[in-house]
A and B are shown apart, each in its own frame.
Chain A
């Protein structure tokens, strides 16, 4: 199933400026053959710019792009053999689905019969063989993006680029198509760069996730690593929810209201700091008459998320989020007193004077 036949892609020290604004500030990234890397980040962080430079739709001010060992930095988009699916619906309105898919083959002067055969085969791959004769305006958003995926794959590109292809779709279709994209990517074994601002999407389908901010790569790693061991406070903040709780660093651990938690970087200097703690590292206990204490608070909200619930606890001078099993959350409705327990996993700290709130 996972016979990987893709090529290596290297982005080397890419810089792209728009006037005084630096959209990409020395981005370096290597994609292994057949790997799916997701670039994640807020709007304006440079992730789409990186994708467009790789596609050849924009030119880099500095740096190099190497695909399969060949420097393609100066090649125009139409000579790069890179397939791309766009955020906006991009099917050619005057062509039916199979003609759209066959367009790239027509540009490569493939014979009529062969290109129709290959277009239909590729439409079949994305499950749209029966809708081959429909125009774009007769297809739903999800179907249009699947045709666009087929169109990008039909030319048998060396690299596949996905520029937030699911952002215009509703939640249910997004989840289905996301899995579909991953299945097809594994089946074809193509090296893929996926750009998204949706962390759930990135964590769900990527082999590795790159988190970007201000034109730079903050962290690149497996989804588990990025989530559980964020390299910087920004990554901790951007990927998943994070509690920011004040404490005092002493000897490689941080003391938070009497609970000592080890630091990711045990060499950190002693002194006041803000610990970044995931909601799932916070557990709740309630054992009858609760005495007042530094980690005892009042539940002020319970958000049902399905198997788990997110409980907001007011500690008086700050609020803390805890993500617990729904069965446990149901025992602590809003207004009840609970004691928080912080899991002793190593945590990141921030030195600046940040307000002690959950984000």
Chain B
């Protein structure tokens, strides 16, 4: 009887393993074949020879990349990277304290905040552009016409994804008790956020940041329609003039996102282990009792 049960369990386990490998292989093929094809295309010359000319020439396009990182970047990659940074920072500064405050003091507003944050998901980017256009005309006339002003629109665009990631992180800890414990120990609200909440939702913050960076690096519609030149807009322009370089940059941006993911896995995935016991010299008679 027991042998038969074990046999059935083993058969199920094998089936499950086979299913896992097939699913993994299918997903890998789905993602890797187009990237492989892009890599292949971007490393072939006009006569079919293997060459890195397209990759090397990326730096010869001043509209694509230069070394001017500042408040008014000229090159598309610089602009997109700066936008990704600004969007991520503004999103975190705006969203984390708001979400914590709503959980602590205004829980009855949580549904409303969720609704507002998820709203951009339901509005197509092109409709957003129609609404944003007059605002950007005013911004360009009265404040600044820098491409970095796109960060305002991008913060709205990334809200739904970042809200979900942060909400999952905050749901994993007892925000109220931890905050009250910290307050009773003398922590200011800033210290509560910075020393207690943020370290405990670091994975969620990394996830939200990654999502926001990926979204900003891949954004085309808003930038193009508001007549700004970010990475994706420049890629389309470049694709018309030099498809090889355009594809090389696209592969590079994909690799950049992949690197971010790997970093996330390494930084966020570290398990907590007890530190060496030798660090503390004092030991009590009841220390080992498991009460």
Contact = CB atoms under 8 A, between A and B. Distances in A.
Interface string B196-219: 100110000000000000000000
B184 A77 contact: yes
Nearest to B278: A133
Given A94-B199, A140-B291, A108 B186 contact: yes
Given A78-B186, A131-B287, A143-B290, A123 B282 contact: yes
A130 B274 CA distance: 12
Residue of A132, A135, A142 with highest tally of chain B CB at under 10 A? A132
B182 A103 contact: yes
B186 A155 contact: yes
B277 A77 contact: no
Contacts of B123: none
Contact of B287 (A86, A96, A128): A128
Contact of B184 (A84, A89, A131, A143): A84
B194 to A, nearest CB: 12
B279 interface: yes
Nearest to A134: B274
Contacts of A151: 181, 185
A135 B183 contact: no
Given A135-B274, A177-B291, A130 B184 contact: no
B275 interface: yes
B283 A129 contact: yes
A88 interface: yes
Contacts of B273: 135
A88 B174 contact: yes
A128 B184 contact: no
A27 B215 CA distance: 56
Interface in B265-291: 272-277, 279-291
Interface in A103-138: 103-104, 107-108, 120-121, 123-124, 127-135, 137-138
Contact of A130 (B196, B272, B280, B291): B280
B291 A176 contact: yes
A93 B282 contact: no
B46 to A, nearest CB: 56
Contacts of A88: 174, 177
A82 to B, nearest CB: 6
A38 interface: no
Contacts of A103: 182, 185, 187, 195
Contacts of B290: 140, 142-143
A124 B282 contact: yes
Contact of B282 (A77, A80, A121): A121
Nearest to B282: A129
B40 interface: no
A89 B275 CA distance: 21
Size category of the B interface is 35 or more
Interface residues of A, number: 52
A269 interface: no
A133 B199 contact: no
A167 interface: no
A140 B185 CA distance: 23
A121 to B, nearest CB: 7
B179 to A, nearest CB: 9
Interface in B163-199: 173-174, 177-178, 180-188, 191, 195-196, 199
A57 interface: yes
Contact of B288 (A130, A133, A176): A130
B183 A77 contact: yes
A176 B178 CA distance: 26
A127 B287 contact: yes
A90 B178 contact: yes
Given A84-B184, A86-B180, A104-B186, A133 B287 contact: no
A76 B188 CA distance: 9
A83 B277 contact: no
A67 to B, nearest CB: 14
B200 A92 contact: yes
Interface in A216-271: none
A128 B185 CA distance: 20
Given A78-B188, A128-B286, A176-B291, A96 B181 contact: no
A194 interface: no
Contact of B284 (A80, A84, A90, A129): A129
A290 interface: no
A151 B272 CA distance: 21
Nearest to A77: B183
A37 B54 CA distance: 79
A16 interface: no
Nearest to B172: A93
A155 B187 CA distance: 12
Residue of A81, A124, A138, A161 with highest tally of chain B CB at under 10 A? A124
A107 B282 contact: no
A146 B287 CA distance: 11
Contact of A129 (B174, B199, B280, B291): B280
Given A142-B291, A177-B291, A155 B283 contact: no
A180 to B, nearest CB: 8
A55 interface: yes
A128 B174 contact: no
A357 B200 CA distance: 53
A93 B188 CA distance: 19
B186 A57 contact: no
A30 to B, nearest CB: 22
Contacts of A80: 184
Ranked 7 nearest A-B pairs via Cβ: A127-B286, A130-B287, A104-B185, A142-B291, A107-B186, A133-B275, A132-B280
Interface of A: 55-57, 76-84, 86, 88-90, 92-94, 96, 98, 103-104, 107-108, 120-121, 123-124, 127-135, 137-138, 140, 142-143, 146, 148, 151-152, 155, 161, 173, 176-177
